[in-house]
Amino acid sequence: MTFAQAAEAHLDDVFGYLTWFTSDRFAAEELTGVTFERALRLWHRFDPDRGSVRTWLCQVARTVALDHFRSERRRTRREELAAPPEAIDVGFGEGLSPELESALARLTAGEREVVALRILLDLDAGNAARILGISPTNCTTRLNRALKKLEEALHVAA
């Protein structure tokens, strides 16, 4: 598989993962571009025997997203002193009820990430755990906790 084929096949997956992870559609667009630029530089390191292209691209995307979070935290620390943060365009995707979208927005980034990997991208526990750098059991625990939190948020909204 060439890099172009991999990018074409998994662009939506990477974009969806980053959208849910960051809860910021515009940031996700930018980060997706950065992800594929970085993936192109690192493409020679990709080993099909160690995992699928999608898993590898998600690992690259996660690194890019973490860099983004760190820089955002530094920026917001500076700017919150001068002005309150602006509301951002979430847009978790078509087909979501407003209540569920609101509940998703209330999850932490870490919780949204595991939901995105396990449910949106439909990765198994092993691959998702590899991206997150944790054990599969821990990954499943995090997913259950996030789903329970979503359920409670929807129950309260109802």
Give residues in contact with other proteins (CB under 8 A).
2-4, 7-8, 11-12, 15-16, 19, 23, 29, 32-33, 36-37, 40, 43-44, 66, 69-70, 73, 92-97, 100, 105-110, 113, 115, 119-120, 122, 133, 147-148, 150-151, 154-155, 158
**Is 4 or 83 the residue whose CB approaches other proteins more closely?**
4
CB of 17 to other proteins, least distance (A): 9
- Terminal C-alpha separation, the chain: 47
**Is 7 or 125 the residue whose CB approaches other proteins more closely?**
7
Count the neighbouring beta carbons within 10 Å of the beta carbon of residue 148.
10
What gap in Å lies between CA 112 and CA 142, rounded to an integer?
Answer: 10
CB of 11 to other proteins, least distance (A): 5
**Is 44 or 78 the residue whose CB approaches other proteins more closely?**
44
CB of 64 to other proteins, least distance (A): 13
Q: Are 24 and 32 in contact (CB under 8 A)?
A: no
**Is 55 or 115 the residue whose CB approaches other proteins more closely?**
115
Q: Which of 97, 109, 5, 92 is nearest to 57 (CA)?
A: 5
CB of 126 to other proteins, least distance (A): 19
Contacts of 143 (CB under 8 A, 6+ apart): 114, 115, 118, 119
What gap in Å lies between CA 18 and CA 112, rounded to an integer?
Answer: 10
